């Protein structure tokens, strides 16, 4: 058995989720590490796209921000942000978007704007950036986030990026192109939207994690699939590639 942390299990699971995809619009932080691990392991030909206008970036280490020079230095092409959004993202040319969240609700709506009242917040977060457009227009969205009641809340303090809105039909009513969040990957397991309600359901736990632990870390009564699975452990090759990237 390989020794690994909960964060490493989450990152490996997220990297595996990109297998079969051709293009990925990448958020900074956990999503970027997972996307670059996918490029180093399961999906070497995936084209990573960043909000700053870099297409096909191959950073040897996780970028510090979308303005990190390593993204442009290793890219196949660099275009303006306006072209990135107007030509590549909004017309539906990107398979999957990789995002994170400060708060997430049962329909996978995202808050990255403020904690507390908008006018007098307890914490002012980095903001929307390109996340609302990524959530709206990518073919699908995968969210990578650590699991806690602070993040998985019954009600968002602010809705930054629409996941599945209020439930079935919300995205269509808003005219959003993409399918929305298809998977939420955390350090405890994997959640997916129920086809009937579009509410998140726990479908997989990571090794050593019991479903009740995930429910206790969630701010609403989380449904658990009656066919819940366990994530395969990271392989030695996956861990070695991840640790090279993170070092």
Instruction: Let me know if 51 is a catalytic residue.
Output: yes
Q: Give the whole-angstrom CA distance, residue 156 versus residue 159.
A: 6
Catalytic pick among 8, 19, 51, 238? 51
Q: Which residue has the tokens 């921000």?
A: 65
Three-state secondary structure of the chain: CCCCCHHHHHHHHHHHHCCCCCEEEECCCHHHHHHHHHHHCCCCCCEEEECCCEECCCCCCCCCCCCCHHHHHCCCEECCHHHHHHHHHCCCCCCEEEECCCEECCCCCEECCEEECCCCEEEECCCCCCHHHHHHHCCEEEEECCCCCCCECCCCCCCCECCCCCCCCHHHHHCCCCCCEEEEECCCEEEEECCCCCCEEEEEECCCCCHHHHHHCCCCCCEEEEEEEECCCCCHHHHHHHHHHHC
| Residues with catalytic function | 51
């Amino acid at each position: 058995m390989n020794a690994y942390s909960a964060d490493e299990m989450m990152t490996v699971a997220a990297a595996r989720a990109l297998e079969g995809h051709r293009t990925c619009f990448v958020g900074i932080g956990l999503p970027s590490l997972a996307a670059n691990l996918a490029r180093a392991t399961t999906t070497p030909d995936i084209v990573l796209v960043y909000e700053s206008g870099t297409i096909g970036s191959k950073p040897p280490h996780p970028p510090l921000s979308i303005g990190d020079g390593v993204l442009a230095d290793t890219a196949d092409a660099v275009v303006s942000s306006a072209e990135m959004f107007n030509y590549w993202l909004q017309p539906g040319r990107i398979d999957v978007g990789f995002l994170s969240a400060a708060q997430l609700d049962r329909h996978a709506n995202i808050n990255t704007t403020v904690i507390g009242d908008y006018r007098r917040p307890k914490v002012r977060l980095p903001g929307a950036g390109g996340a609302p457009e990524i959530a709206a227009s990518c073919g699908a969205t995968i969210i990578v986030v650590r699991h806690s009641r602070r993040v998985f809340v019954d009600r968002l303090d602010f809705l930054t990026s629409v996941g599945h809105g209020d439930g079935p039909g919300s995205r269509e009513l808003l005219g959003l192109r993409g399918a929305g969040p298809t998977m939420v990957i955390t350090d405890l397991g994997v959640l997916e939207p129920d086809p009937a309600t579009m509410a998140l359901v726990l479908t997989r736990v990571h090794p050593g994690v019991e479903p009740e632990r995930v429910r206790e870390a969630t701010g609403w009564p989380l449904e658990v699939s009656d066919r819940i699975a366990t994530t395969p452990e990271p392989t030695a090759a996956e861990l070695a590639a991840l640790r090279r990237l993170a070092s």
